Amino acid sequence: MHDATENATEHPERTPLAALVAPAVESTGLYFEAAMVEGEPGQLILKVIVDHADGTAGLDLDEVAEVAQAISTALDAAGSDLPELGTEPYQLEVSTPGVERPLTEPRHWRRNVGRLVSVEVLPDDGPSPSPATSPMTSPTALPEASAPAPAGRLTGRIQSADEAGVVLVPVKPGAKKGMPAKIGDPVRHAYDRLGPATVQVELTRGGGSAADEELNSEA
């Protein structure tokens, strides 16, 4: 189970609404990502994004129902005048981060082991990404990369990830349409040499995406 104290330390600045919702999420053992209000008065939607703290498994329907109930209970206990919602009626939506979420923290990388990502590799003598967009680094020593990592945009599959860095297997598309992709040797990168990464949607033989196939397998 994820430690709520650790979560609060990682997110020292929370809005009043997030501060109200986060403990309810954490009480179920899940990780609180974000809470936001969308829509117009009378049709407000409270969207809460949650995730597993680690591992690669997705949330099942029972877990989503449990955390939704915990959030509803916390909001009911807080009274009728809620932060950012006021006294307006609202609809609660609980979901997990989509593939469009940038990977900016070590646990994001760990949650996506095996997936194909696109990421900017910074030059060794270049500036580190800003704290707002870069993953949190760890003092853990990084083994040297098996080969120099050239700067520039890299597409690769996440082989492994820990608190200090990630091992990426470079993937280059075939020279011509229909030709197999070229797979490079795994290279380890320190997080401070990487910008935010985005997960690439891969098409399966049936024409759907790998993400769709994963969801169908969990149903």
Angstrom distance (rounded) from CA 115 to CA 213? 13
pLDDT at 22: 95
Q: Which CA distances in Å does 137 have to 66, 89, 121?
A: 32, 41, 15
pLDDT digits (tens, 9 = 90+) for 13-57: 689 999 999 999 999 999 998 999 999 988 999 999 998 887 667
pLDDT at 150: 73
What CATH architecture does domain 4-95 belong to? 2-Layer Sandwich (3.30)
pLDDT at 197: 92
Domain ranges for the chain, please list them. Answer: 4-95, 106-199
Q: Pick the range with the lowest mean pLDDT from 90-99, 104-113, 197-206.
A: 197-206
Name all contacts of 129-132 with Cβ < 8 Å and 24+ positions apart. 129/192, 129/194, 129/195, 129/196
pLDDT digits (tens, 9 = 90+) for 131-176: 323 333 343 444 444 445 677 899 999 999 999 999 999 998 776 7
pLDDT digits (tens, 9 = 90+) for 68-79: 999 999 999 998
SS3 state of residue 40: coil
Contact (CB, 8 A) for 17 and 83: yes
φ/ψ of residue 66, rounded to 5: -65, -45
